[in-house]
Amino acid sequence: MKGQMIYLKKRGYFYTKLKTRTSERYIIVDDYLLEELRRWREQQIVNEKELGGAYICVYKCNDGSIRRAAKGFPVADAERITLICTNLKGAYVPKEVLVTQLKKVGVNTHSFRHTHATQLIENGAQAKAVASRLGHSNVLITQNLYTHNTLKLQEEATSIFTKILQTNF
């Protein structure tokens, strides 16, 4: 299922088309993350069995709206969807909860993208690969808006220049 879940004020959560053509992308993940995602999916299955009718299922309605209902009471004209960001009872974790938890540690949801991009560049990832990973069609967006001039990048530039001087003179 290709799409994204968004929140519209006073209307609730909706499942919509992706924002741009480059929003649809494949991201290679490591075995550790893949195993964590598998473990959480297995836990969701266990929780659903144990909670029975108290387990909350999430549905995408024909109009794109997202609805929750107790297991055994499916939403008419809707498709059940499985989400990653759920609580132990199966309900999706609202954006406000995530934002509140992140604020406690001094970050926001968008800063993850910036930090991710900057750390990848700092550690030698090619800008084109980082742009693709973030869903940017133009590498300049990634370089100009998402990566930041850090001390590590400045020290690396100095080291490279030193090597150039030592090699050419």
For 61-70, what is each residue's pLDDT tens digit?
Answer: 999 999 999 9
Residues in Cβ contact with 108 at an 8 Å cutoff, skipping those fewer than 6 apart: 99, 102
Same domain? For 75 and 13 the reply is yes
Q: Is the pLDDT of residue 1 over 60?
A: no
Q: Let me know whether 72 and 111 are in one domain.
A: no
**What was the pLDDT predicted at 124?**
87
Query: Which residues does 27 contact at the CB level (< 8 Å), separation at least 6?
Result: 133
Q: Are 72 and 53 in contact (CB under 8 A)?
A: yes
The average confidence (pLDDT) of the chain is: 88
Model pLDDT for residues 111-153, shown as the tens digit of each residue: 878 888 888 888 888 989 999 888 888 898 888 888 788 888 8
Query: Are 8 and 79 part of one and the same domain?
Result: yes
Is 98 inside a domain boundary? no
Alpha-carbon dihedral sign for residues 79, 80, 84, 88: positive
User: What does DSSP assign to residue 99?
Assistant: H
Same domain, 143 and 67: no
74, 141: one domain: no
Between β-strands 56-61 and 4-8, what pairing exists: parallel, antiparallel or unpaired? unpaired
| pLDDT over 90, % of the chain | 36
Are 68 and 123 within one domain? Answer: no
Q: pTM here?
A: 0.71
Quick one: 77 and 126 in the same domain? no
Structural domain range at position 71: 1-93
Distances (CA, A) of 21 to 2, 17, 121, 125: 11, 10, 24, 23
Question: What total of structural domains would you count in the chain?
Answer: 2
- The β-bridge partners of 66 are 60
Could you tell me if 153 and 71 lie in one domain? no
Reported as a pLDDT band with limits 50, 70 and 90, residue 45 is: very high
Residue 154 lies in a domain: yes
User: CA 132, CA 37: separation in Å to the nearest integer?
Assistant: 22
- Take residue 140 and report the two structure tokens written for it: 């300049």
